[in-house]
Homo-oligomer: A and B are copies of this chain.
Amino acid sequence: MTTHRELPEETLDALVEVLDEIRTHPARSRAEIVQARGLSRAVVAQRVQELLDRGLIELGAAGRSTGGRAPRLLRFRRDAGHLLVADLGATSIDVAVADLGGRILAHHEEPADIADGPQAVLGRVAELFHEVLAATPGLTSDLWGIGVGVPGPVEFETRQTVAPPIMPGWDGFPVGDYFAERFDVPVWVDNDVNVMALGELRAGVARGHRTVVFVKIGTGIGAGLVVGGSLHRGAQGSAGDVGHIKVTDDPAVVCRCGKRGCLEALAGGDAIARDGRLAAESGRSPLLAELLDSEGVITAAGVAWAAGRGDPASAELIRRAGALVGEMLSTTVHVLNPSLVVIGGGMSAAGDDLLAAIREVVYGRSLPLATRDLTIQRSALGHRAGVVGAATMVIDGLFSRDRIGRWIARGAPDATT
């Protein structure tokens, strides 16, 4: 474990602390770092010089004087490098270029079908990476890393997809290696809901929360969990797999995972679309019938749109899905006692019916202590949650203690993860 390390732990710890303090603020003086982190002046001075030498920070404007000469403020060089990120959905690809501060510099979105398999989908992502890079104005820095969110379970350490129910052909596919070989930079891959939860934690509504449940309601249903201020992936990376929690004993409800009674089979986007089509064909919803006539298809987004236009049958479908998600969340709230539940994914844009139904069940069903200070709200990042979260994942990885230790030992960032 320590054989290749050339820095004593205490020196590396201090370097990471100093960099974190500067990275997470617009600007910082040496005195502020000493104060905030409790490090000694000498240690801060040495680590700051090291970070200046490596081009990770720069001297900014003069700060406030406390007597003598005003100190120069230190700033993180978010433009010292850039990142490529992709958010793969069941039916879409989002790619973006981000800076080292997680700001999105360019963004492209297009429809796709995850069922086309990894070669086709990842091949298209690689093309889009080149295109979006070419389309980003004024980009002169080096590419430092790649982050990818995929709509199924991922073994985080090996960066492979694992037994994904809606992703035929993806089982065991080395998504991380695929991009590492083509772009020669470190690559991080995670489940899309974990990535989105991370985005909300660092840059969205979950900032400052320690225990958060982020639920994505899209084609499928899944959750990303923040526990103790960090993402919780579980023993096999399948934590938050809430779409396959049993919510009914009805044996007729068969899920695509092969089990019976799963939440996703009743409240996921596919289920809502299916029930919407039935409402259109049976005449229960004239508005959905019109939509089916004109579009030839009923999607979950179409049902949400009709609910927003006052269609009673559609509103009922959305409310029923919300109530079922609420049942699952009530259980999850009893288990984890979060301070915040965030509702994201395509269906979260479905007007207020869904959120109202979820809230009603969770607050009605749970013990007072667990919901006393519980907030349930919509994702702040919306459809950008995936790419913002993927950039966050890469930045967390690049500036992690272990990786910085390896940079220092080798003298430069390296392409292994």
Q: What is the chain B residue whose CB lies nearest that of A243?
A: B334
Of A92-100, A141-149, A317-325, A362-370, which binds chain B?
Answer: A362-370
Q: Is the CB of A335 within 8 A of B332?
A: yes
- Expressed in whole angstroms, the Cα–Cα distance for A240 and B235 within the complex equals 18
Q: What is the chain B residue whose CB lies nearest that of A9?
A: B38
Q: Is the CB of B367 within 8 A of A244?
A: yes
- Expressed in whole angstroms, the Cα–Cα distance for A36 and B17 within the complex equals 21
Q: Which residues of B contact A162 (CB under 8 A)?
A: 369
Selected contact of A238 from candidates B36, B330, B369, CB within 8 Å: B369
Q: Which residues of B contact A38 (CB under 8 A)?
A: 1-2, 5, 8-9, 12
| Contacts of A36-60 to chain B: CB distance below 8 A | 36-40, 43
Tell me how far the C-beta of A367 lies from the nearest C-beta in chain B, rounded to whole angstroms: 6
- Expressed in whole angstroms, the Cα–Cα distance for A227 and B12 within the complex equals 26
Q: Is the CB of B8 within 8 A of A335?
A: no
Of A119-127, A336-344, A409-417, which binds chain B?
Answer: A336-344
Q: Is the CB of B39 within 8 A of A235?
A: no
Interface size class of A (residues with CB under 8 A): 35 or more
A314 CB-CB contact with B under 8 Å: no
- Expressed in whole angstroms, the Cα–Cα distance for A335 and B233 within the complex equals 10
Q: What is the chain B residue whose CB lies nearest that of A239?
A: B337
Q: Is the CB of B211 within 8 A of A234?
A: yes
Tell me how far the C-beta of A239 lies from the nearest C-beta in chain B, rounded to whole angstroms: 4
- Expressed in whole angstroms, the Cα–Cα distance for A244 and B13 within the complex equals 43
Selected contact of A245 from candidates B223, B232, B257, B334, CB within 8 Å: B334
Tell me how far the C-beta of A155 lies from the nearest C-beta in chain B, rounded to whole angstroms: 9
- Expressed in whole angstroms, the Cα–Cα distance for A228 and B238 within the complex equals 14
Q: Is the CB of B211 within 8 A of A334?
A: no
Q: Is the CB of A335 within 8 A of B10?
A: no
| Contacts of A347-380 to chain B: CB distance below 8 A | 365, 367-370, 372-374
Q: Is the CB of A242 within 8 A of B211?
A: no
- Expressed in whole angstroms, the Cα–Cα distance for A241 and B8 within the complex equals 43
The oligomer's copy count stands at: 2
Q: Is the CB of B8 within 8 A of A238?
A: no
- Expressed in whole angstroms, the Cα–Cα distance for A339 and B236 within the complex equals 8
Q: Which residues of B contact A2 (CB under 8 A)?
A: 35-36, 38
Q: Which residues of B contact A338 (CB under 8 A)?
A: 234-235
- Expressed in whole angstroms, the Cα–Cα distance for A334 and B336 within the complex equals 12
Q: What is the chain B residue whose CB lies nearest that of A241?
A: B334
Q: Which residues of B contact A331 (CB under 8 A)?
A: 245-246, 331, 335
A274 CB-CB contact with B under 8 Å: no
A345 CB-CB contact with B under 8 Å: no
Q: Is the CB of A335 within 8 A of B239?
A: yes
A105 CB-CB contact with B under 8 Å: no
Q: Which residues of B contact A400 (CB under 8 A)?
A: none
Q: Is the CB of B241 within 8 A of A367?
A: yes
Q: Which residues of B contact A336 (CB under 8 A)?
A: 225, 232, 234, 239, 335
Q: Could you list 26 A-B pairs, sorted by A, with CB under 8 Å?
A: A1-B38, A8-B38, A9-B37, A9-B38, A10-B13, A10-B14, A162-B369, A163-B367, A211-B234, A225-B335, A225-B336, A227-B232, A228-B228, A234-B336, A234-B338, A235-B337, A235-B339, A235-B374, A236-B337, A237-B337, A238-B334, A244-B367, A245-B335, A246-B327, A259-B367, A332-B335
Interface residues of A (CB under 8 A from B): 1-2, 5, 8-10, 12-14, 17, 35-40, 43, 153, 162-163, 210-211, 223, 225, 227-228, 230, 232-242, 244-246, 257, 259, 327, 330-332, 334-339, 365, 367-370, 372-374
Among all A-B residue pairs, the 10 with the closest Cβ atoms: A234-B337, A9-B38, A235-B339, A239-B337, A8-B40, A238-B337, A227-B227, A238-B369, A238-B370, A2-B38
